[in-house]
A and B are shown apart, each in its own frame.
Chain A
Amino acid sequence: MLNTILYLVLVGIAEGMFLWLVAAGLSLTFGVLRVLNFAHGSLFMLGAYVAFSLVKISGGNFWIALAIAPLVLAIVGMGMEVFFFRRIYDLDMSFQLLLTFSFVLMLEDIVKFVWGPLYQTSPIPPALTGTASILGVSFPHYYFFILVVGSAVGLGLWLFIERTKWGKVVQATASDREMSSAVGVKVPQLYTGVFMLGAWLAGLGGILSVPIRSLSPGLGEYVIIEAFVVTVIGGLGSLKGAFIGALLIGIFHTFGVMYLPVFELAIAYITMAIVLIIRPWGIFGVREA
Chain B
Amino acid sequence: MKREKKKGMNRREFLKAGAGALALGTAVAGGLSFPAIARAKLKDPIKIACQGVHSGPLGNNGEFMRQGALLAVEEINAKGGILGSKIEFLFRDDENKVDIAIKNARYFVTTWGADFLIGIDSSGVALAVGQVMPELNKILIVTHGSTNKYNEDIVYKNKIKQCFRSSIPLYLDGIGGAFVAKDFPFKRWAGIVCDYEYGHTSWKLFKHTLKSMRPEVEFVSESLAKLGTVDFSSHIAKVLTANPEAIYAVNWGGDLVALIKQSSVYKLYEKIGVWLGTMGGAMDVLTGLGREYPKGLWGTTRYWFLYPDTPRNKAFVGDYHKRWNIYPSHNSECAYAAIYMIKHAVEKAKSLELDSLIAAMEGMPLDRPAGPCYIRKEDHQAVYSPPWGQVIHDPKYPMPILTNLKVFPVDKLYRHPPFPPIE
| Chain A interface residues toward B at CB < 8 A | 4, 7-8, 11-12, 14-15, 18, 108, 112, 116-121, 123-124, 129, 131, 138, 140, 142-143, 209, 211-214, 216-219, 221-223, 253-254, 256-258, 261, 264-265
Contact = CB atoms under 8 A, between A and B. Distances in A.
Given A112-B59, A119-B288, A15 B231 contact: yes
Interface of B: 54-60, 63, 195, 223-226, 228, 230-231, 233-235, 237-238, 241, 253-255, 257-258, 261-262, 265-267, 284-285, 287-292
Nearest to A139: B266
B63 A222 contact: no
B382 to A, nearest CB: 26
A129 B235 CA distance: 20
A108 B55 contact: yes
Nearest to B257: A214
Q: Which applies to chain B's interface (DSSP): helix, strand, loop or mixed?
A: helix
Contacts of B258: 212-214
For A12, A112, A123, A212, which residue has the most chain B Cβ atoms within 10 angstroms? A212
Contact of A221 (B54, B56, B63, B261): B56
B341 to A, nearest CB: 26
Contact of A264 (B226, B228, B291): B226
B241 A119 contact: no
B234 to A, nearest CB: 4
B55 A217 contact: yes
19 contacts: A7-B241, A119-B285, A119-B288, A131-B266, A211-B261, A212-B261, A214-B254, A214-B257, A214-B258, A216-B58, A218-B57, A222-B57, A222-B230, A254-B234, A257-B223, A257-B238, A258-B234, A258-B241, A261-B223
A119 B223 contact: no
A121 B261 contact: yes
A108 B257 CA distance: 20
B234 A253 contact: yes
A228 to B, nearest CB: 15
Nearest to A221: B56
A121 B237 contact: no
B391 to A, nearest CB: 15
Contacts of B285: 119
B59 A218 contact: yes
Contacts of A212: 258, 261-262, 265
Contacts of A119: 60, 253-254, 257, 284-285, 287-289
A121 to B, nearest CB: 5
Contacts of A265: 195, 226
